[in-house]
Amino acid sequence: MFKRFSGIVKKEFIELLRDKLALLLIFIAPVLVIFLEGYGLVLDVKKIPLAFLDYDRSKLSREYVNSFVNSEYFKFYRLVSNYKEAEELIKKGKIRALIVIPSDFSRKLYKWQNVQVQILVDGTYPNRAQIVKGYVSSINFKFNMKLLQIYAKTLEEKEKFPIEVEMRAWYNPALESKNFIMPGELVTILCFYPILISCLAIVREKELGSIFNFYCSPAKSWEIVLGKAIPYIIVSFLTYLTLFFITVFVFKAKFIGNFIALSIGSFLYISCTVGLGFLISSFTKTQITAMLLAFVLAVLPSYLYSGYLCPISSMDLSGQIMSKFIPATYFLKIVRGIYLKGLGLGFYINNLFYLCLYGFIVYTLTILRFKKRID
Amino acid sequence: MRRLVVLLKKEFLQLLRDKILIIVLIYAFTIDVYVGGKGVKLEVNNFPTIIQDQSKSFKSRELISRFREPYFKILAFVESDKEVVNWLDKGKASMAIIIPPDFERKVDKRQGKIQVIIDGTMSITATMAVSYVAEITNDYAIELLERKGGVTKHFFENFPQIDERTRVLFNPNCLSHWFMGLAELFNVVTMVPLLITAAVLIKEKEYGTIEQLLVTPVRSWEIFLAKILPTVIIVSLLTMLSIFIMIKGVFKVPIRGNLFLFYIVTCLYIFSLSSIGIAIATMVGNLSQAMMVIMIILVPMLMISGVWTPPEAMRLFARYASLLSPMRYYLDFGYGVILKGNGLKYVWQDILGIILIGGLLLFFSALRFRQSFAK
C-alpha cells in the first residue's frame, strides 16, 4: 500500500517538475505579488487633497486654513474663488474635500460669537469620507480650543477642557502599516496561491482523459487524492518560507514570535488551501470553469472576508458567513498573534482545531467525489 | 462576414456548453456582488470593546453609557489589567477603554483623562474607532461645561466657536455598500474577461484544434475577433444585468450618469482586458502557466488600482505603475458616471486612457497572435 502511495506521489512530482516554465512561474509569481503589494498598497488615509473657499480672507481665516494645511492628513490643493470651480475639482476627483469660510468668519469670532463653516466631502469612497470628517472635526476642535483659551484669558477665567483622551496602540505602537500589511499579505497570498496552483490537478486529467488511468488502477481514491496533494503542499510550503523571509527581512515587519510555531500553523493552513483547490477541481468538468471558480472564490474573498482589510466583527451576516468558509480567517488570527503579539500556538488552539476540521472536510469531500466511475 | 458569424456561433456554443461555467458567471455577477457590497463594512460597526472602569463614579458611568451600538459593542466590564491583556491578546476585543480611579475628581478640576488601548494589529479600523471615542468624549465634556449652571447660558451664547457643517456629496449617508457593491462589480468585470479569453485560446492550443482552424480559409484576425467578441458580449450584458438588478434594484444606488455611456465604455474596457488574456495565451504553453502570469497581473491590479489605495495616497512608483492599469481608468470612470453623474466632459481622460491602453494591448496581442499562429 505504501509503495503504491509513494509511486503516485513520485509520478505527480515528476509531472510538476517537468514543466520548467510553470515551475519557474509558480515560484516567481507569489514573490512578485508580495513585492508589488508591499510597495503599492497604502491603506492609511493621509495627504488628502483639500481646497478652500475663503470669503473672509483675514488673518484669522488664514490661520484656520493653516491649521489644516500643517497637518499630515491634508494636502493643500489651492484656494478656489467660487463654488463652481470647487464643484468641478470634486467631480474630477482632484480634491476630496472643500472648506468654505464665510465672509463674517473673523468678524463674528472677534465679537465672541459662533460661526459656521461649511465642509463638503466627496463621498465616492464612503469610508474615506468618514475619516476625512473625523480629521476635520479633530482639527476644528483643536482650533476651537485655542480660541477658547484666548477667550478665557480675556475673561480671566481658566477654561480648560475637562477630559482628554489618551490613545495607546498595543503590539504595533507606532501603527506602522507594514506591520499590518505584511502578515495580511502572507495570509492572503497563501490562501489563493495554493488554490490556483492545485485547482487544475484533477480536472486537467479529466479533460485529457488520463483520469481513466487512475480509474482502472488498483489505487484507492484517497491514495490518489492525497498522493496528488503532497507535491503541491510541499511547493506551497517552500513558497511560505520565501514569503516569510521577505516579510521579515526585506520589508522588516515586526516579528517577535516563534518561527517553528508559525511554520506548523502554515503547514496546516496550506494543506487546507491545497485541499480547497482539489475540491474545486473535483467538482468542475472543464479547466476554464475550475480556473474561473478558483479566481472568483479565492482571490477577492481572501482579501475581503478574512478580516485583513476590515474586521469581521463589523461585517453583516452575509459577510460573517462568508468569512467562516475561508481558511484565511482562522489563520490570520494565528499569524497576527505570532508576528506582533509574540504568542505561542497554545493561544490559538481553537483556530488550529478549525483548520484541522476544515482540512478534514475538504479532503473527505474531494475523496468522496473522486469515485471511480465512468460517466 | 459570414465566416465570422459562423466562428462566433462556434465560440458561443463552446463557452456556454458547460453548465457550471454559466452558474459561476451568474454567481459572480449577482451573489458575489451582493456579499461584497453588503457583507463588507468599512465603517466602524460593532467594534468589540471592553471597559475597565476604575472610577465607578457617576460621571464615569455617564460617559460609558454613551459608547453604544452601532459603533461599539461592549463585550465586558473588566476589573484587572490582567484581564485587559487577556482580552486583547486573544483578539476577542480590539479596544479597551480605561477610566482611572480619580476620574470624577479630575474632571471637576478639568484635568480628566481617559485611556484608550487599541489592538495595533488592525490599525485602520482601530484608529477610526479611537476618533469616535474622542468625538463622544468631547461631546460629553462640552455638555459638562454647559451643565455647570451659572456660567452656561451667557457663556455659551457668546462663545467663539467654529461650528462645522459637513455635507457629504454623492453618498450623503456614507453607505459603504454603494461603494463596495460597485467595487465588487468592477472587480468581477476585470477578472472574468481576462480569464475566459486566456483560457479559451489556451484550450485550443493545448488540444491542437487551433491548427485545424488555421488550415480552414478563415483569416487569423477573424479567429482573433471570434475569441474576443463572445466574451465582450456576455460580460457586458451580465454587467448591465448586475447594474440593474443588484446595484439599482437591491442596493438602491441612485444612478446619476448616462448608462449608455457606461455600457459603451464597459465594452471597450472588456475588449482591452480580453486583449491581455489573448496576449498571455500566446506567450504560455498551458493553463497552469497562464494562471500564474494572470495572478501576477491581476492581483496587484485589483488591489492597487484605487479601491483600497486612493490614487493620491499611492507611492510614486505605484502611481506611475497604475497608469498602465486599465482598471484605474475604469474605476475612475465607473464611479464618476454612476455615483457622481459625470458626463463626457469629466471622464474623457479616463475613456482616452482605456482606449489608448486597450488599443496598445490589442495591437500587441494581435501581433503575437499572428506570430504564433502564422500561416
pLDDT category of residue B69 using cuts at 50, 70 and 90: confident
Q: Do B165 and A119 touch (CB under 8 A)?
A: yes
What is the structure's pLDDT at A273?
96
Pick the residue with more confidence: A63 or B41? A63
Q: Of all residues in chain A, what percent carry a pLDDT higher than 70?
A: 96
Closest alpha carbon to B179 in B331, B72, B321, B287: B331
Min distance A302 CA to chain B CA atoms (Å): 11
Tens digit of pLDDT for each residue in A302-336?
Answer: 988 998 888 888 888 888 999 999 999 999 999 99
Beta strands B162-169 and A115-122 are parallel
Helix or strand (DSSP H, E) at A74: strand A74-79
Beta strand A115-122 pairing with A97-101: antiparallel
Burial of B218 (0-12, 13-18, 19+ CB in 10 A): middle
Return the ∠ at Cα B269 (arms to B263 and B273), rounded to 5°: 145
Q: Are B204 and B315 in contact (CB under 8 A)?
A: no
**B162-180 CB burial, b ≥16 within 10 A, e <16:** bebebebbbbeebbbbbbb
Cell numbers that stand for A291 in this block: 480556473
Residues from chain B contacting residue A43 (CB–CB below 8 Å): 123-124, 308-309
Residue-wise pLDDT tens digits, B330-354:
999 999 999 988 888 888 999 999 9
Q: Is the model more confident about A375 or about B286?
A: B286
pLDDT higher than threshold 80 for residue B156: no
> Which segment, B119-123, B165-169, B212-216, is predicted with the most confidence on average?
B165-169
**CA–CA min distance A216, chain B (Å):** 24
Per DSSP (E only), the strands in A106-224 are 115-122, 163-170
> What was the pLDDT predicted at B198?
92
Q: Within 13 A of B117's CA, how many CA atoms are on the CB side?
A: 17
In angstroms, what is the C-alpha Rg of chain B? 28
The predicted model gives B236-254 an average pLDDT of 94
pLDDT score at B158: 60
Among B307, B280, B288, smallest CA distance to B188 is for B307
Query: Which of A20, A164, A166, A228 would best serve as a mutation to test chain B binding (most B beta carbons within 10 A)?
Result: A164
Helix (H) or strand (E) holding B141: helix B123-147
- A115-122 sheet: strands from edge to edge: A74-79, A48-54, A97-101, A115-122, B162-169
Q: Does the beta-carbon distance from A114 to B160 stay under 8 Å?
A: yes
pLDDT at A88 over 90: no
Provide the pLDDT for residue B161. 75
Residue B155 clears pLDDT 60, i.e. is over it: no
Q: Quick one: pLDDT at residue A92?
A: 84
Residue A232 has pLDDT above 90, yes or no: yes
Q: Are B338 and B256 in contact (CB under 8 A)?
A: yes
Smallest CA-to-CA distance from A304 within B39, B186, B251 is with B39
> Which residues lie closer than 8 Å to B137 by C-beta, 6 or more apart?
A163, A165, B63, B114
Contacts of A78 (CB under 8 A, 6+ apart): A51
Looking at residue A157, its pLDDT comes to: 52
Task: Inform me whether the pLDDT recorded for B157 exceeds 60.
Answer: no
Average pLDDT over residues A215-231: 87
C-alpha pair distances (Å), A60 with each of A50, A104, A105, B206: 19, 11, 8, 72
Across chain B, mean pLDDT equals 86
ipTM of the complex: 0.88
- Identify the pLDDT of residue B148: 67
Q: How much is the average pLDDT of B117-123?
A: 83
B154 has a pLDDT exceeding 60: no
Searching chain A, which residue's CA lies closest to the CA of residue B165? A118
Residue A262 pLDDT greater than 80, yes or no: yes
Chain A hits for B20, Cβ within 8 Å: 283-286, 289, 293
Give the pairing type, strands A48-54 and A74-79: parallel
**Per-residue pLDDT for A372 more than 80?**
no
User: Of how many residues is chain A composed?
Assistant: 375
Contact between A101 and A52 under an 8 Å Cβ cutoff? The reply is yes
What confidence score (pLDDT) does residue B31 get? 92
Dihedral of CA B174/B180/B181/B186: which sign?
positive
Cis peptide before B70 (omega within 30 of 0): yes
Q: Is the pLDDT at B256 greater than 80, yes or no?
A: yes
**Contact list, A141 vs chain B (CB under 8 Å):** 138
In this predicted structure, what is the pLDDT of residue B163? 79
Cα A280 from Cα B28, distance rounded (Å): 16
Residue A279: its pLDDT value, please?
95
Give the one of A109, A161, A295 whose C-beta lies nearest to B160's C-beta. A109
The helix-helix angle for A221-245 and A201-208 (nearest 10°) equals 130
pLDDT at B207 over 90: no
Predicted confidence (pLDDT) per residue in B71-112, tens digit: 899 999 999 989 998 898 888 888 999 999 988 888 887 778
SS3 of chain A: helix, strand, coil, percent, to 5: 65, 10, 25
For residues A173 and B201, what is the distance between their CA atoms, to the nearest angstrom?
A: 51
Indicate if the pLDDT at residue A197 is higher than 90. Answer: yes
Let me know: does B193 contact B341? Beta carbons within 8 Å.
Answer: no
Q: What's the average model confidence in pLDDT over A70-86? A: 88
Specify the pTM.
0.90
Q: Which residues of A touch B120 (CB under 8 A)?
A: 169-173, 175, 179-180, 340
pLDDT at A158 over 80: no
- Rounded distance between C-alpha atoms, residue A162 and residue B112, angstroms: 6
**Does the structure show a pLDDT above 90 at B221?**
no
- Among the listed ranges A55-59, B122-126, B134-138, which one has the minimum average pLDDT value? B122-126
Q: Which of A140, A147, A318 sits opposite B160 (nearest CB)?
A: A147
Question: Which chain A residues are within 8 Å of B145, Cβ to Cβ?
Answer: 162
Map grid coordinates 482650533 to a residue.
Answer: A143
Nearest to A127 among B42, B108, B203 (CB): B42
Residues A192-197, mean pLDDT to the nearest whole number: 94
Q: How far apart are CA A163 and CA B136, in angstroms?
A: 11
Q: Residue A360 has what pLDDT?
A: 96
CB contact under 8 A, A310 and B125: yes
pLDDT at A123 over 90: no
* More confidently predicted of A99 and B205: A99
| Residue A160, pLDDT score | 59
For residue B216, name the pLDDT band (cuts at 50, 70, 90).
confident
